[in-house]
Amino acid sequence: MARSSFGLGRVVVNIVLVVSVILLVIVLNRRDSVFATNQTIQEVPNCTASGCHDDFAKRKQKHPLVAEKKCATCHQEIKDKNHIFAPLKPQPELCTQCHDGMLEKKEFLHGPVAAGSCTVCHDVHGTSHKKELVAEPRDLCLQCHVEMGEVLAQSPYRHKPVQENCSLCHDHHASNNKVHLRLAPEKLCLDCHKDVNKSITKGKVDHAPVKTNKQCFNCHKPHSSDFAHLLVKSEKNLCLDCHSKPLVDKNRTIQDIGTLLQKKKNHHGPVIQGNCTACHSEIHGGDGFRLLGLAYPEKFYTSFKKEKYALCFKCHEPQLVTVALTDRLTRFRNGDVNLHFLHVNKDKKGRTCRACHDTHASSLPKHIRESVPFGNLGWELPLKFVKTKTGGSCQPGCHKRYKYDRIEPLQNIPKIPKVKKGKVAEK
Ligand code: HEC
Ligand code: HEC
Ligand code: HEC
Ligand code: HEC
Ligand code: HEC
Ligand code: HEC
Ligand code: HEC
Ligand code: HEC
Ligand code: HEC
Ligand code: HEC
Ligand code: HEC
C-alpha cells in the first residue's frame, strides 16, 4: 500500500529528526550557543539544506510554503526543547487560516476533515502525487473505504467516473449535500448525462419514476451493479416491481403487465429475454407513445404506412404486410391471399397489429389475443381464434366466423378487391 511505504518514509524522517536533534543538542551544549534559547526557526540555517530535512527538497509535489522553505509559517519551536518544532496551531485551523471558506457554511464535513486532520490526505512537506496527496486520489479514498473497493472489484458493471475519480461526484472536504455529493442528487446525474436530461425535459411522454421519489436511484446504482446499465436489479424484475398492479391515475389505467405475464404462458421473444427496453427504449421519457422508441400506432385503426410500424419491423419483415399475394411471406393467408395485407394495409381503417396480437403475452399461439380492448367503455372485443394445422379461423365482432387455409384456400373470404401496382409480388 502506498500509505505504508509513505509510513516507512516517515519512520526514516523521524529517525533522521531524532539523530539530528541529538547532534544539535551536543553541538549547542558544547558551544553554549546563542541559539540555545528562544531560537526561532528563521534563525536556523536552512531546514532543507543542512542534512536534516533535505529529502523534502527532492519531493515532486510540495506545498508552496514548503517549496519556499517558509517552515515557520506553520511551525514553532516548543519552549525549552531544543529543535522540537510543533505546528503553530491544531488542524484544521492551521490550514483554514489561509484556506478560508473551504469549510465555512458547509453542513456536512467529511469524516477525516471533521476529525481535524488535513494531513491524513495531504502531506504538505511533499509527495509524488498532485496537491500533495499521499496517494493517487481514487486509491486514497479506497484506502479508507475498503469495503467499497471490495464491492467495486467484484461487480461486473462499474460506472466509468467511479473508476476514474471519486471527486467527480463527491466533495472530499465538505458539502451541503448528503453523502458529500458535489451537487444535489437529482442534479448530479444530469450534470453529465445531458441526453437523458433532454429526454426528461423535452419529451411529450414522461415516465413517472424518473422524476419522483428517489428519481434516478429508483432504477440505478451510482457506483456499480451486478446488472447491466447499473440497474438495481435485472431489467424485467425492475419493471415488474412497479408494473405488477394496474396503475391508476385520473385519466387512465396502465395495464398490469406482471399479472398478464403470469397468467399467459406464451411470452413474446424479447419479453422472454427480459428485454423490455427492446421496445420501451425511451425509458426516461420521450416522444414515443408508451415510451416506445420506434413508431407504433396508438389507435385500433389507422391508414397504412410502413413507417408507422417501425417498431415491429425492427425485428420482423415488413413484406408480411406490404405484399398482397404470397405463398411464403406469411402464414396468415388463404391460399396466396395475404390476410395481413387484407386487414392491415388499407387506406382507411386498417387494423393495427394490436387488433389480433398482444405484444407482451397471450395464451394462444402466435401471440394472438383472446380479446382486444375496443373503444373507451372498457369493453373487450372477443376474437375467438382457432388455429389449425394449415390455417385457422376467427369470429370477432367484425364478421362471422371466417376460416383461412394455406393449402386449400377457402372461399368464404372476400378476394382482394384491387391489388395496387407493385404490391403483387413474390409468387
Ligand atoms: C503548511 C504548514 C506546514 C509547513 C509550511 C511546514 N510544515 Fe512541517 N508539519 C506540518 C504539520 C501540520 C505537521 C504535523 C504532521 C502531522 O500531524 O501529520 C508537520 C510535521 C513536521 C515534521 C515531523 C515529521 C512528519 O512529517 O511528521 C517535520 C520534520 C517537519 N514538519 C518539518 C518541516 C520543515 C523542515 C518545513 C519547512 C521546509 C515544514 N515542516 C513546513 C505543517 C507544515
Ligand atoms: C499561510 C497560508 C497557508 C497556510 C497556513 C496553509 N496554506 Fe496551503 N496554500 C497556501 C497558498 C498560498 C497556496 C497556493 C495557492 C492555492 O492553491 O490556493 C496553498 C496551496 C495548498 C494546496 C494545493 C497545492 C497545489 O499543489 O496546488 C494544498 C493541498 C494545501 N495548500 C494544503 C494545505 C494544508 C493541508 C495546510 C495545513 C497543514 C495548509 N495548506 C496551510 C497557503 C497556506
Ligand atoms: C479525504 C482526503 C482529504 C482530506 C482529509 C483533505 N483533503 Fe484537501 N484535497 C483532497 C483531494 C482528493 C483533493 C483534490 C485533488 C485533485 O485536484 O484531484 C484536495 C485538494 C485540496 C486543495 C487544492 C484546492 C482544491 O480545493 O482542490 C486544498 C487547498 C486542500 N485540499 C486543502 C485541504 C485542507 C485545508 C484540508 C483540511 C481542512 C484538507 N484539504 C483535507 C483530499 C483531502
Ligand atoms: C482517512 C480515511 C478516509 C479517507 C482517505 C477517505 N474517507 Fe471518506 N470517510 C471517512 C470517514 C471516517 C467517514 C465517516 C464515517 C462514515 O460515514 O463511514 C467518511 C465518510 C465518507 C462518505 C459519506 C458516507 C456516508 O454514508 O454518509 C463519503 C461519500 C466519503 N467518505 C467519500 C470519500 C471519498 C470520495 C474519498 C476520497 C477523496 C474519501 N472518502 C477518503 C474516512 C475517509
Ligand atoms: C457518479 C457519481 C459518483 C461517483 C463517481 C462516486 N460516487 Fe460515491 N456515491 C454517489 C451517490 C449518488 C451516493 C449516494 C447513494 C445513495 O444515497 O443511495 C454515493 C454514496 C457513497 C458512499 C456512502 C454510501 C455507500 O454506498 O457506502 C460512499 C462511502 C461513497 N459514495 C464513496 C465513493 C468512493 C470511494 C468513490 C470512488 C471510488 C465514489 N463514491 C464515487 C455517487 C458517486
Ligand atoms: C462526472 C460525470 C458523470 C456523472 C456525474 C454521472 N455519470 Fe453516469 N456515466 C458517465 C460516463 C462517462 C459514462 C460512460 C458512458 C459511456 O461509456 O458511453 C456513464 C455511464 C452511465 C450509465 C450507463 C452504464 C452502462 O453500462 O450502460 C448509467 C446508467 C449512468 N451513467 C447513470 C448515472 C447516474 C444514475 C448518475 C447519478 C448518480 C450518473 N450516471 C452520474 C459520467 C457520469
Ligand atoms: C424506471 C427506471 C429508470 C429510471 C428512474 C432511470 N433510468 Fe436510466 N435506464 C433505465 C434502463 C432500463 C436503462 C437501460 C436502457 C436500455 O437498455 O436501452 C437505462 C439506461 C440509462 C443510461 C445509459 C443509456 C442511455 O440512455 O444513455 C443512462 C446514462 C441513464 N439510464 C441515466 C439515468 C439518469 C441520469 C436517471 C435519472 C434522471 C435515470 N437514468 C433514471 C431505467 C431507468
Ligand atoms: C419505480 C416504479 C416504476 C418502475 C421501476 C418502472 N415503472 Fe413504468 N411507470 C411507473 C409509473 C408510476 C407510471 C405512470 C403511471 C401513470 O402515469 O398513470 C409508469 C408508466 C409506464 C408506461 C406508460 C407510459 C405512458 O405514459 O404511456 C410504460 C410503457 C412503462 N411505465 C414501462 C416501464 C418499463 C419498461 C419499465 C422497466 C424498464 C418500467 N416501466 C419501470 C412506475 C415504474
Ligand atoms: C415487442 C415490443 C415490446 C416489448 C418487448 C415490451 N413491450 Fe410493453 N408495450 C409494447 C406496446 C406496443 C405497448 C402498447 C400497447 C398497446 O397499446 O397495444 C406496450 C405497453 C406497455 C405498458 C402500458 C400498458 C398500457 O396500459 O397501455 C406497460 C406498462 C408496458 N408495456 C410494460 C412492459 C414491460 C414491463 C415489458 C417487459 C416485461 C414490456 N412492456 C415489453 C411493446 C412492448
Ligand atoms: C426486439 C425484437 C422484436 C420486436 C421489436 C418485435 N418482435 Fe415479435 N418476435 C420477436 C421474436 C424474437 C419472436 C420469436 C419468439 C416468439 O415467438 O415470441 C417474435 C415473434 C412474434 C410473433 C409470433 C411469430 C411466430 O412465428 O410464432 C408475433 C405475432 C410477433 N412477434 C408480433 C410482433 C408485433 C406485432 C410487434 C410490434 C408491436 C413485434 N412482434 C415486435 C422479436 C420482436
Ligand atoms: C386481423 C388479425 C391480424 C392482424 C391485424 C395482424 N396479424 Fe399477424 N398474424 C395473425 C394471425 C392469425 C397469424 C397466425 C398465422 C398462422 O400461423 O396461421 C399471424 C402471424 C403473425 C406473425 C408470424 C409470422 C407470419 O406472418 O405467419 C407475425 C410476425 C405477425 N403476425 C406480425 C404482425 C404484425 C407486425 C402486425 C401489424 C403490422 C400484424 N401481425 C397484424 C393475425 C393478424
CB of 184 closer than 6 A to ligand 10? Answer: no
Ligand 4 atom closest to 172 (CA): 38
Mutate to test the pocket of ligand 11, among 316, 327, 340 (most ligand atoms within 8 A of CB): 340
Say if residue 245's pLDDT is above 70: yes
CB of 238 closer than 6 A to ligand 8? Answer: yes
Confidence of residue 9 (pLDDT cuts 50, 70, 90): low
Mutate to test the pocket of ligand 2, among 95, 102, 118, 130 (most ligand atoms within 8 A of CB): 95
Q: pTM, whole model, 2 decimals?
A: 0.92
Q: Which of 146, 167, 182 is the last residue of a domain?
A: 146
Q: Tell me if 9 is assigned to some domain.
A: yes
Say if residue 375's pLDDT is above 60: yes
CB of 184 closer than 6 A to ligand 6? Answer: no
Give me the pLDDT at residue 378, please: 81
Say if residue 130's pLDDT is above 70: yes
Q: Which of 146, 168, 184 is the last residue of a domain?
A: 146
CB of 99 closer than 6 A to ligand 2? Answer: yes
Q: Tell me if 173 is assigned to some domain.
A: no
- Using alpha carbons, select from 98, 148, 142 the residue that is nearest to residue 118: 98
Ligand 8 centre and the CA of 197: distance in Å? 18
- Express each pLDDT in 308-338 by its tens digit: 999 999 999 999 999 999 999 999 999 999 9
Task: Work out how many domains the chain is built from and give that number.
Answer: 2
Residue owning the nearest CA to atom 36 of ligand 9: 276
Tell me which of 15-29, 156-170, 276-290 is least confident.
15-29
Q: Tell me if 303 is assigned to some domain.
A: yes
- Segment 231-236 shows an average pLDDT of 98
Ligand 4 atom closest to 140 (CA): 5
- Segment 128-155 shows an average pLDDT of 97
Q: Tell me if 369 is assigned to some domain.
A: yes
Q: Tell me if 230 is assigned to some domain.
A: no
Q: Tell me if 242 is assigned to some domain.
A: no
Confidence of residue 399 (pLDDT cuts 50, 70, 90): confident
Q: Tell me if 140 is assigned to some domain.
A: yes
Give me the pLDDT at residue 10, please: 55
Residue owning the nearest CA to atom 12 of ligand 9: 359
Mutate to test the pocket of ligand 6, among 138, 155, 158, 159 (most ligand atoms within 8 A of CB): 159
Q: Which of 107, 131, 146 is the last residue of a domain?
A: 146
Q: Tell me if 126 is assigned to some domain.
A: yes
Q: Residue 312: which domain range?
A: 294-405
